[in-house]
Amino acid sequence: MVGNIHSLESFGTVDGPGIRFVVFLQGCPLRCLYCHNPDTWEKGEGSCRMTPEQLLEEVMRYKRFITKGGVTVTGGEPLMQAAFVRDFFLLCRGQGIHTALDTSGALWNEAVREALDATDLVLLDVKTIDALQHKELTGAKITNTLRTLAYLEEMQIPTWIRHVVVPGWTDDDQRLQQLADFLKPYRCIEKVELLPYHTMGTDKYKQLGLQYRLEGTPELSAERLERAREIFKR
């Protein structure tokens, strides 16, 4: 089995606990309006192709740096290559390396369940809890994300929720409260990360000849981010 890899980062600090080796896989079924990695959308082969064993060999070069962190697989949408993720994570588990999976939960099948079962921590990107807005923001239904969250709860797989707060879209007290209320009963959730919308990936759209559909949307202010955090703290 071979995985299509977009890029590798040997010293990640924002994708799970501790210092982490981050694997970006190629391909994503969503087209999120604020995506900052549009270069990972198309399936293709990415920058390289590796077997799970070859990828683990690369990770092991940095094992002493990630001892208190681990490995995170992201994308794109990594569960487009769920069997590869499962096999790679099982190899990591055999070496005592902590694994995290950054996913939108956009896909749901047996291979996805097996990949989730092999994961130590899931970073689940919840774009919005409003079904209509989810379709507008991502181009896809929210159904599979909710199925994924239900499975994480059923299996009690440790989960961090990630939610991007976008001015004019998800930056609304009522929507934030609605999401906080929805997530509150889930025992699998250890943490909620509220991420401020930024425009750092817009140059990629120009390079790829793509239209950035949130052109003109301001970055989230520190005050609004703090307000969102207050709602979730309550």
pLDDT tens by residue, 154-190:
999 999 999 999 999 999 999 999 999 999 999 999 9
The per-residue pLDDT for 137 is: 94
| pLDDT at 200 (0 to 100) | 81
pLDDT at position 36: 87
Token pair of 86 as six digits: 């499962």
Distance CA 229, CA 60 (A): 37
pTM for the predicted model, two decimal places: 0.94
Mean pLDDT in residue range 207-213: 89
Predicted local confidence at residue 44, as pLDDT: 81
Q: What is the pLDDT of residue 202?
A: 84
| Sheet architecture: strand order including 3-12 | 48-50, 3-12, 20-25, 70-74, 99-103, 121-125, 159-165, 189-196
**Residue 120's pLDDT band (cuts 50, 70, 90):** very high
Counted domains in the chain = 1
Domain residue limits at 39:
3-233
Average of pLDDT values for 86-94? 98
In tens, the pLDDT along 123-132 reads 999 999 999 9
CATH code, 116: 3.20.20.70
Q: What is the pLDDT of residues 71-80, one digit of tens each?
A: 999 999 999 9
